[in-house]
Chains A and B, each alone.
Chain A
Amino acid sequence: MTAPTVAPATDLAPRIFSRNIDDFDVPHGREEEWRFAPIKQLAEFFEPATWGSVGVAGEHDALVECVEINDSRLSQNWMPTDRPSAIARAKATHAVLITIAKESVHSTPIVVNLENSGENSYLHVEVHAGAFSKAQVVLIHDTTGNVNGSMLSIVEDQADLTMLSVIDADLAVTQHLHWFTEVGRDANFLGLSITLGGGVIRTVPMVTYRAPGGKAQMLGAFLLTGRQFQEHRILVDHTEPHCTSNVIYKGALSGEGAHSVWIGDVLVRREATGIETYELNRNLLLTDGPRADSVPNLELETGDVISAGHASATGRFDDEQLFYLQSRGIPEATARQLVVRGFFVEVLNKIDDPNLRGSLMHRIESKLGIVDHE
């Protein structure tokens, strides 16, 4: 085993990059990165096990492949940054590899239905968007049982990649998912994370840049109804000059015991001059009882930036909005639907495909018990 790479100290970036599980201690819950997480419920994610691997269901495009984990086309550089991701990388036997050829342009979304045997599984998915390519990849997590793993999006120079990840699991399910994105020179990345259900869901998206001029947007919509936990811990690591990042996460929570955590970390390194960054989290509490934690962090190692900002707000469903709409003849159920649609529209409107956008909105509304009147 080689010694782990230990990065120079910053407040926000991971310190250890390694594929060796034992380079990471078992979290006890007092570490900054684990302090919101339900450590006990994640216990089986901290010890290596013999789980199957997530694969692809049904007919799929030829550029989607299920490969052995030692396939040489998988990223050799990427390193896990915590114990669950190190375990998943070490123990997964297969990976899903989606290769967008250099300069290829795909006008229709590439839809990938991820599936497993129904037992607990490790997941490793890589999307390689070749230089000057343009594509949308939709990952539907149709898995059952617990899932631990990582998704990688490698966006080569001047590629344009939209990647949508949809999780809608049942209450018994725990998932721990890293999502690592590397943006090349003048490349454009749009990541959309839609989380509609699950008992405990923890996502750790991380965006970094390989060269100047990259643009990255990470957008999230999440929904918690009843006793559910979700943590979305985002890190944008500005390593290169003249790049931009924009993070928008919106959550709607209802019912006793619903608990969401949003951490928006942005690190602007000394060499990352002339960048623009903004991050926003809005949470809508639809009933009494839910709890939403929201923590934006901005660490600047250079003052030579174009703009750097963040905003966070959590509010109750506004009875005055409901009154206003109803006073215009709109029945209560339709009024609630309008308000919730309006809340998520900023994120969902980024989904180009109207059928997909409509079906996601419909799933959100049916989970909230909002009747569709149209």
Chain B
Amino acid sequence: MSMLTITDLHACVITDEGETPILRGVSLVVESGKTNAIMGPNGSGKSTLAYVIAGHPKYTVTSGSIDLDGEDVLAMSVDERARAGLFLAMQYPVEIPGVSVSNFLRTSITALRGEAPKLRTWTKDMKLAMSDLQMDPAFSSRNVNEGFSGGEKKRHEILQMGLMQPKIAVLDETDSGLDVDALKVVSEGVNRFKDQNDAGVLLITHYTRILRYIKPDVVHVFVDGKIVATGGPELAEALEADGYESYTTAARA
């Protein structure tokens, strides 16, 4: 049983022109076995929340806390957070030229487990995880994210999540840019991962479409750097029908 607790989190971007606040008091709990969906309009800061949880150096936390099972996440480096059991599926995964997927995954798993995986079981695990996501075996010899299509990048993110088995996974707009077939494959991958690992999922999305395939337990509406409404799956249905307008107008008022 794991629990990620975010309390009154404020974060900003520091530029030459000064501080631009982006998160303005986010409080949220993600538990094992539960899926929290965060929905919000463009520019609301929902992706920033994902990056701040993972520890991206671009953002500075000005107040508040992030705690994973009693450990202070904000005190950890990016790689320590991953080793503590946090995972971020990125919206725009970067290319790493000259580094093959298999080398990358093996290096990552070795760092996470503290020892290199046994070659025979590792090859088998990877083949199985790839076939679950309908990925060509040749994929593992390609360079990380180099020349990947949008769908391949997202499958690769979900592949990593399945192999790394984090306690809490943050999915940052994993659904954007996917056609419906790819969306189904990716969603099945998320559901399988969650069921097998009893993991907690924080699903950040702009659209309600993915929620047909991944059922949320809790839905949050995120506007202007904070959560403005929280409810059950019915909240997502209301957003599908009415959009974000009533929330954005309220936030501006």
Contact = CB atoms under 8 A, between A and B. Distances in A.
Contacts of B97: 342-343
Contacts of A345: 98-99
Nearest to A328: B108
Interface residues of A, number: 24
Given A325-B96, A338-B96, A339-B99, A330 B57 contact: no
Contacts of A24: none
Nearest to B89: A327
Interface stretch (A37-45, A47-55, A201-209, A315-323): A315-323
A250 to B, nearest CB: 10
Contacts of B57: 319, 323
A330 B93 contact: no
Nearest to B82: A329
Interface string B79-101: 10111000110100111111100
Interface in B138-190: 143, 160, 164
A338 B99 contact: yes
Given A323-B56, A323-B57, A329 B108 contact: yes
A341 B111 CA distance: 18
B123 interface: no
A21 B104 CA distance: 54
Contacts of B90: 324, 327
Contacts of B98: 341-346
Contacts of A320: 94
Nearest to A339: B96
Nearest to B143: A342
Contacts of A329: 79, 82-83, 108, 111-112, 164
A324 B111 contact: no
B169 to A, nearest CB: 12
B107 interface: yes
B79 A324 contact: no
B71 to A, nearest CB: 15
Contacts of A318: 94
Most-contacted residue by chain A among B81, B88, B98, B104 (CB, 10 A): B98
Nearest to A332: B79
Contact of A321 (B77, B79, B96, B160): B96
A326 B99 contact: no
B54 interface: yes
Given A331-B111, A334-B111, A338-B107, A326 B96 contact: no
A343 B94 CA distance: 15
B174 to A, nearest CB: 15
A44 to B, nearest CB: 40
B10 to A, nearest CB: 21
A345 B142 CA distance: 13
Given A319-B57, A341-B99, A330 B107 contact: yes
Nearest to A344: B98
A326 B82 contact: yes
Most-contacted residue by chain A among B57, B81, B108 (CB, 10 A): B108
B218 interface: no
A324 B77 contact: no
Interface in A283-339: 318-321, 323-332, 334-335, 338-339
B79 A330 contact: yes
B197 to A, nearest CB: 16
Interface string B223-249: 000000000000000000000000000
B94 A328 contact: no
B74 interface: no
A326 to B, nearest CB: 4
B92 to A, nearest CB: 9
22 contacts: A319-B57, A321-B94, A323-B57, A324-B96, A325-B104, A325-B108, A327-B54, A327-B79, A327-B90, A328-B104, A329-B79, A329-B82, A331-B79, A334-B107, A334-B111, A342-B96, A342-B97, A342-B98, A342-B143, A343-B97, A343-B98, A345-B98
Interface of B: 54-57, 77-79, 81-83, 87-88, 90, 93-99, 103-104, 107-108, 111-112, 143, 160, 164
Interface of A: 318-321, 323-332, 334-335, 338-339, 341-346
Given A324-B93, A325-B96, A329-B112, 7 more contacts: A321-B96, A326-B82, A327-B79, A329-B83, A334-B111, A344-B98, A346-B98
Q: Lowest 7 A-B CB distances belong to which pairs?
A: A342-B98, A329-B82, A326-B78, A345-B98, A328-B108, A342-B99, A329-B112
